[in-house]
Structure 1
Amino acid sequence: MAEAAAGAASALLDLPEPLLDLPEPLLLLILGALHDPRSRHRASMACRRLLAAERATRAAMALRGDPRTADFLLLPPAFCFPALERLDLSLASPWGHPLLSSASRVAGAPASSSSNHLALRPEEIAERNAYVAARLAAYFPAVARLAVYCRDPSTLASLAPCWRATLRAVKLVRWHQRPLDLPGGADLEPLLGACPQLAALDLSEFYCWTEDVVPALDAHPAAAARLTDLDLGLAGASNGFHAAELGAIAAACPGLRRLVAPCVFNPRYVDHVGDDALRSLAASCPRLTVLRLSEPFEPASTSQREQAGITAVGLVDFFAALPGLEDLMLDLQHNVLEAAPAMEVLARRCPRIKVLTLGCFQGLCKAAWLHLDGVAVCGGLESLCIKNCEDLTDASLGAIGRGCGRLAKFAIQGCNLVTSDGIRRLAMALRPTLKEVSVLHCRFLHTAACLAALNPIRDRIESLEINCDWEEVEQPSSSCLANGTTGSDHEDDEPSEMAYQSAPKKCRFSYLEMDNYESWEMLRSLSLWCPAGQLLSPLISAGLDSCPVLEKISIKVEGDLRTCPRPFHGSAFGLSDLGAFQALAKMKLDLSEAVGYALTAPTGHMDLSQWERFYLSGIESLLSLYELDYWPPQDKDVNHRSLSLPAVALFQHSIGLRKLFIHGTTHEHFMSFFQKMPNLRDVQLREDYYPAPENDMMITEMRAESCLRFEQQLNNRQFRQIPD
């Protein structure tokens, strides 16, 4: 249907308007089948009737550019989107700067005798902000879901009253430091005070303090009581909520159905979250269906983990009080012992549970006999993630594969007794359902063996994430899995040669063919981890050379480049090998954890500019690449993350790019290279590492005014030909 509608819309472009006399329902049907914004834009240019229909039916929009100087602020109120419900202002430029305060004069706003924004009086700034907010409300009168970058509370104070009657969900974004002079809760009070009908609040990308949440909720009890969805992820948070704070949040929001929050589970902390806190949470919010509690601290080593304040007995009472639970995350950094009985109670008392994420839960599935135990009895699970389980074995994975027959997503991290044999058992048992697999930081798993173990589902898997050692590792001996942890049983063992001989002919043939898949036929998303200085080519040749429908790839490089040997002349990381993936459209290349010398390097060492040349060489061969997210390498000694000249020059040759997001900064004159790229339409410099420097940019690098000048030149149709 979508392809037919797109073809019809393209055909309409060639018709003269007097001949276009289609019924209104047909026009709406054509636009309703077009979900891509660019396709809708092209269809709306066919005639005025399609333009009016597209404007009347548009449901979501993400604004780019600077709304304070944009020409659309001069348009009449009739130029509006009456049905638009989702508005995203979080990426409006200058990226990361206050939305409603700018050194540039607002188009059409009341004039002022002061030409310098810094000299404006507070009432003049408030008058300009109110004008922009009123124009946005006139163009988008029915906004129900809003995402906005809030550098300070003035943004919400201007925007929130405009949609007082319609606003139901808000996502706040801020990666800069919280202003130190703000009282507790000042960031949220303008929103809770102006929008009493607010039902969902998302702070997952909002840098603030945990002390800001409870005062704001206490100051507006009526608004807090109406909240049903509360995401307190607090991007970049180095601390979590204590038991008293978690109890206060639950008491203020008794109608919550979804709660996401970082918590302090460390038993050494005063008022840590334990059994009593979980019981209190369940008693205050009995209608919870999604609960995600995690510990935001750095993962503790195995020797440093202690017994958490959460026990299996407390979990039994907790699960019994939440019968409607569907999605549960308890990601701890300290051990919860003997968790198998609690998991069996979870399966019995919470029959709707479908998504489960557990961190540092020990004894989840012993698989000592033929019967299923622990998490393996949760037969309704569709997604399971297990982290840092010290006694999870290959037999445990086999039991999970037999018991959780509906699993479509499986993730494992830091389980050091699991080998490739266990991954293979799980893949064979869940071949009909498993679509997404993630394997991270397991001691006895290396990348090539893990790819080979996934052969049974190689033709069915759609998303794959591998973060393992590249070199062959010594497999555990039988003594490592002693004391009942092997859980060996005949049903979980690999089929023997005798079993092949006694099985039916068709069945024997299917077993033998499972290792002969030559292509990842359904793989659309791939995430890889590479050590610093390592080439990408060996990993591709290890089994990822044939991915015909791969659309998105994420590559993370981690390590100290200062200790890596200098690459020989002409060597490259291997991005050119990805040119064989004809459908590749999006790529994330994260070098943020690749540490090196920013400005000067000792004799015999390479600085970061040369390492960027090494990693980005060959990117011009990715002809189908449409969008690129790039994190430059950094020198942590000087907190320097900037795009170098070799990187800019290599990006310039990637002529197919349309969107380029750089998570760092660069010099202003380097950005002129990007204007020569014919298809590039969206370029942003995002300082979204937490917390971003308070002084924003170095004097010699891009600043707010530089970003605005570059954006105006990028969108100038008189001097730059834009195909569409």
Structure 2
Amino acid sequence: MATTINDLPEVILSAIITLVSDTRTRNSLSLVCKKFRSMERATRASLTLRGNARDLHRIPICFTAVDQLDLSLLSPWGHALLSPSAANTDPLLLAQRLRDAFPSVTSLTVYSRSHSTIQNVSRLWPGLRRVKLVRWHQRPHSPPGADSDFVPLFSECQSLLELDLSEFYYWTEDLPPVLEAHPGVARSLTKLNLLTTSFTEGFKANEIKSITAACPKLQHLLVACMFDPRYIGFVGEEALLSISANCPELRVVHLVDTTSLANARGDPNDNGFTAEDARVGRAALVDFFSGLPLLEELVLDVCNNVRDSGLALEVLGSKCPRLRLLKLGQFHGICSAIGSELDGIALCAGLESLSIKNSADLTDMGLIEIARGCCRLAKFEVIGCKRITVKGLRTMACLLKKTLVDVGISCCKNLDAAASLRALEPIRDRIQRLHIDCVWEQEDAHGFDGIDYGGGIGLNRNGDDGGDYMDLNWAAEYENRSSKKCKLGMDGECSYMPRSNRHGYGDWSWYDETWERLHYLSLWVGVGELLTPLPSVGLNDCPNLEEIHIRVEGDCRGKHRPTQREFGLSCLAGYLRLSKMKLDCGDTVGYALTAPPGQMDLSLWERFFLAGIGSLSLSVLDYWPPQDRDVNQRSVSLPAAGLLSECDTFRKLFIHGTAHEHFMMFLVRNNNLNLRDVQLREDYYPAPENEMSTEMRVDSCCRFEDALNRRPILD
């Protein structure tokens, strides 16, 4: 008689099922037999609930082992969780049902439209250790500290260790008094995420001092700050030093200016220097780094000039030997790149992830020096550095060929789409994740005819003597002497082209090569531009590409009608394994209802963006519609609803905005039996407080959910 997996002891079988983390795989396991189903339910540790709060009474009670529960996607429309209006049953009975279904919850994510929600869940699970609060609606109007959202949480949950407020709409003045009023809980906190994207000014210096003084055991601190010295309460040297003095056990520190959280793309033609210098000097940085010996991740995105930072970064490398991730914004002089000696950031030899943003004096030689010193880099991102060119990044890729698998290139004047792909050719067969800007002007201007695309070895774009030719040749010779040979371009050596051929690339046959391991691609596209040239510049063969993120940004108002009928999504049909897409048009601004004569409103722009999406075999789509900021409206239009309904492969569709009920019904009437999960999410600040009468309301959303659930389910 054959032995099957069912013959294994239950202890071993349970351990095997516990090791399976993929949700769909676990669901498939539960369909094998009743034994597998009971074991899968008994071993599931995390669960995310979607749908409407009115259906909470239907929750099964077999997930008793769940300790990580996400309720943030319940009832995005209407009333607060566990309120009398949110369900057809008594809120107390519903709360009891939740407690019985999930008795072991220690980690909770919840949408809190009012402080009563936090009060209810805190009483349900007083043993919570990790909490993430979500709120896209505006904070209820009341004086700071009155009816604070945090008071019931700190009062009831005495074991709280981690608090995440990165997606929570609140006022910075609310938090410090609560921490001071509950010193026991504050002293036990180890992780505090305050990178809230809704802030306009961020935490001030005195608030950061109060928070760090109340939480001396912090290991993770992520804060949205205000570094601009023109404002009262800006974060400067004193605030930085208070962080290292009050919380010496910090392992992860992210200090980001609120202007950077807006995620707006800069101007590639900008010189890289801001009008104001940050009030953070070299000596203060040295003391700050010296006070954090356990540091593993550091993000300093200051958005104001930090000059001559190389020496401070050398101290960072020596005083923080565990540092693995570093992101710097508006830091200048990070490495001098003079001679063969390493200096500055190149001495942070343990780095595995490095992001450099708006470093005005970073050159090709600086990239080469970083590659020589930081030889463990697996991820490298460069943003807004106008002086680097194809040749420097190409040499860097060659030097890091054995480790580099994740690259992001954005807003660099000399690195458009084609240039970025040429620079990454040495690691084309290894790279797994990639971000580039879809900027085509240089290709259109030169027609791929072999003319120099800027950033030459001896000459820069203006024809001036760049002065780096001998240094660049020295870098190549250094690699040859070290026996680190790799193919770079057409000559087969880790070196640059000879002077006689520096104005042409000659053979373009490498464009036909395969990006074998690339599974994630991120693209930035300016509004009005096309996606169509993407395959022709070098990304035509990506056999394992599974996920793509496209961000369209710009102001449609005043733009002429595009010369083409569609944006170009159909060109992605050649990526046969592509199944997940994020199409983010949330930063595309236009006219929501009517446009002046000769201009397009957002409905016509949506038709332009989504045309051709039906030719793709997508199973998951996250879609951010364009918006009209003047009326705070981000809504799916009729053309967009029609085009989305043509996609019969969708399994999950998440629309980050609003929609008319009859538009959403298109998705039900097209007989797409694969569609399982459709959500409307108002996850943008501020979410509309009262939905318009013509938009999707609470009852409308319920009717759509009922129609979606009445369809037959294939699996």
> For 1:85-124, what aligned pairs fall within 5 Å after superposition?
85-95=67-77, 97-101=79-83, 103=85, 105-107=87-89, 109=90
Q: Which residue of 2 aligns with 1:687?
A: 682
More off after superposition, 256-265 vs 464-473: 464-473
Which letter maps to 2:251? T
**Shift of the alpha carbon at 1:135?**
1.4
Per the alignment, in what secondary structure is the counterpart of residue 293 of structure 1?
A: strand
CA distance in 2, matches of 1:160, 1:481: 66
Which letter maps to 1:607? D
Which letter maps to 2:13? L
Q: Which residue of 2 aligns with 1:170?
A: 131
Change beyond 3 A, Cα 1:515–1:402:
farther
Whether 1:596 and 2:590 are equivalent positions in the alignment is yes
Q: Which residue of 2 aligns with 1:48?
A: 34
CA distance in 2, matches of 1:420, 1:568: 31
Per the alignment, in what secondary structure is the counterpart of residue 553 of structure 2?
A: strand
Whether 1:584 and 2:589 are equivalent positions in the alignment is no
Which letter maps to 1:87? L
TM-score, reference length from structure 2: 0.89
**Shift of the alpha carbon at 1:105?**
3.9
CA distance in 1, matches of 2:93, 2:476: 70
Question: Is this contact kept in 2: 1:242–1:263, CA < 8 A?
Answer: yes
**Shift of the alpha carbon at 1:35?**
2.4
CA distance in 1, matches of 2:595, 2:156: 54
Whether 1:203 and 2:165 are equivalent positions in the alignment is yes
Change beyond 3 A, Cα 1:161–1:504:
closer
CA distance in 2, matches of 1:182, 1:364: 44
**Shift of the alpha carbon at 1:495?**
6.9
Q: Which residue of 2 aligns with 1:122?
A: none
**Shift of the alpha carbon at 1:354?**
0.8
Per the alignment, in what secondary structure is the counterpart of residue 537 of structure 1?
A: coil
Which letter maps to 2:708? L
Per the alignment, in what secondary structure is the counterpart of residue 243 of structure 2?
A: helix
Whether 1:271 and 2:264 are equivalent positions in the alignment is no
**Shift of the alpha carbon at 1:559?**
2.2
Per the alignment, in what secondary structure is the counterpart of residue 489 of structure 1?
A: helix
Equivalent residue in structure 2 for 1:435, among 387, 405, 412: 405
Which letter maps to 2:137? H
CA distance in 2, matches of 1:360, 1:296: 14
> For 1:300-339, what aligned pairs fall within 5 Å after superposition?
302=272, 304-339=274-309
More off after superposition, 229-238 vs 704-713: 704-713
**Shift of the alpha carbon at 1:523?**
0.7
Question: Is this contact kept in 2: 1:83–1:142, CA < 8 A?
Answer: yes
Change beyond 3 A, Cα 1:30–1:285:
closer
Change beyond 3 A, Cα 1:536–1:670:
same
Change beyond 3 A, Cα 1:390–1:489:
same
Whether 1:463 and 2:456 are equivalent positions in the alignment is no
Q: Deviation per CA, 1:408-448: give whole Å up to 9, x if none.
A: 11111111111111211211111100011111111222111
Per the alignment, in what secondary structure is the counterpart of residue 202 of structure 1?
A: strand
Which letter maps to 2:414? F
Q: Which residue of 2 aligns with 1:253?
A: 215
Q: Deviation per CA, 1:490-510: give whole Å up to 9, x if none.
A: 5655579xx89x999999756
Aligned residues: 675
Q: RMSD of the TM alignment (CA)? A: 2.9
**Shift of the alpha carbon at 1:272?**
2.2
Change beyond 3 A, Cα 1:667–1:102:
farther
CA distance in 1, matches of 2:461, 2:615: 50
> For 1:707-718, what aligned pairs fall within 5 Å after superposition?
707-716=701-710
TM-score, reference length from structure 1: 0.88
**Shift of the alpha carbon at 1:81?**
2.1
Change beyond 3 A, Cα 1:206–1:105:
closer
**Shift of the alpha carbon at 1:483?**
11
CA distance in 2, matches of 1:168, 1:100: 21
CA distance in 2, matches of 1:214, 1:722: 50
**Shift of the alpha carbon at 1:203?**
0.5
Change beyond 3 A, Cα 1:305–1:631:
same
Change beyond 3 A, Cα 1:480–1:292:
farther
Identity %: 49
Q: Which residue of 2 aligns with 1:15?
A: none
Which letter maps to 1:282? S
Q: Which residue of 1 aligns with 2:377?
A: 407
Q: Which residue of 2 aligns with 1:216?
A: 178
Q: Which residue of 1 aligns with 2:49?
A: 63
**Shift of the alpha carbon at 1:100?**
1.8
Structure 1 gaps of 5+ residues are: 1-7, 13-19, 110-127
Change beyond 3 A, Cα 1:278–1:604:
closer
CA distance in 2, matches of 1:559, 1:399: 36
CA distance in 2, matches of 1:66, 1:367: 58
Question: Is this contact kept in 1: 2:251–2:295, CA < 8 A?
Answer: yes
Change beyond 3 A, Cα 1:534–1:72:
same
Q: Which residue of 1 aligns with 2:140?
A: 179
Per the alignment, in what secondary structure is the counterpart of residue 310 of structure 1?
A: coil
**Shift of the alpha carbon at 1:175?**
0.7
Q: Which residue of 2 aligns with 1:525?
A: 520
Per the alignment, in what secondary structure is the counterpart of residue 13 of structure 2?
A: helix
Equivalent residue in structure 2 for 1:28, among 14, 22, 26: 14
Whether 1:147 and 2:101 are equivalent positions in the alignment is no
Question: Is this contact kept in 2: 1:664–1:687, CA < 8 A?
Answer: yes
> For 1:339-378, what aligned pairs fall within 5 Å after superposition?
339-378=309-348
More off after superposition, 608-617 vs 632-641: 632-641
Q: Deviation per CA, 1:284-306: give whole Å up to 9, x if none.
A: 10100111101102689756432
Q: Which residue of 2 aligns with 1:559?
A: 554
**Shift of the alpha carbon at 1:674?**
1.2
Structure 2 gaps of 5+ residues are: 443-452, 496-506
CA distance in 1, matches of 2:487, 2:707: 65
> For 1:413-424, what aligned pairs fall within 5 Å after superposition?
413-424=383-394
Q: Which residue of 2 aligns with 1:536?
A: 531
Whether 1:639 and 2:601 are equivalent positions in the alignment is no
Change beyond 3 A, Cα 1:601–1:318:
closer
Which letter maps to 2:518? L
**Shift of the alpha carbon at 1:178?**
0.5
Question: Is this contact kept in 2: 1:616–1:650, CA < 8 A?
Answer: yes
Question: Is this contact kept in 1: 2:398–2:494, CA < 8 A?
Answer: no
CA distance in 1, matches of 2:332, 2:134: 36
**Shift of the alpha carbon at 1:94?**
3.5
Equivalent residue in structure 1 for 2:622, among 629, 635, 658: 629
Q: Which residue of 2 aligns with 1:668?
A: 661
Per the alignment, in what secondary structure is the counterpart of residue 171 of structure 1?
A: strand
Question: Is this contact kept in 1: 2:57–2:94, CA < 8 A?
Answer: no
Which letter maps to 2:38? A
Question: Is this contact kept in 2: 1:96–1:174, CA < 8 A?
Answer: no
Per the alignment, in what secondary structure is the counterpart of residue 592 of structure 2?
A: coil
Question: Is this contact kept in 2: 1:44–1:54, CA < 8 A?
Answer: yes
Question: Is this contact kept in 2: 1:553–1:588, CA < 8 A?
Answer: yes
CA distance in 1, matches of 2:335, 2:273: 22
More off after superposition, 135-144 vs 531-540: 531-540
Question: Is this contact kept in 2: 1:409–1:435, CA < 8 A?
Answer: yes
**Shift of the alpha carbon at 1:82?**
2.6
Q: Which residue of 2 aligns with 1:17?
A: none
**Shift of the alpha carbon at 1:515?**
7.7
Per the alignment, in what secondary structure is the counterpart of residue 699 of structure 1?
A: coil
CA distance in 2, matches of 1:506, 1:85: 50
Question: Is this contact kept in 2: 1:459–1:520, CA < 8 A?
Answer: yes
Change beyond 3 A, Cα 1:343–1:24:
same
CA distance in 2, matches of 1:655, 1:546: 25
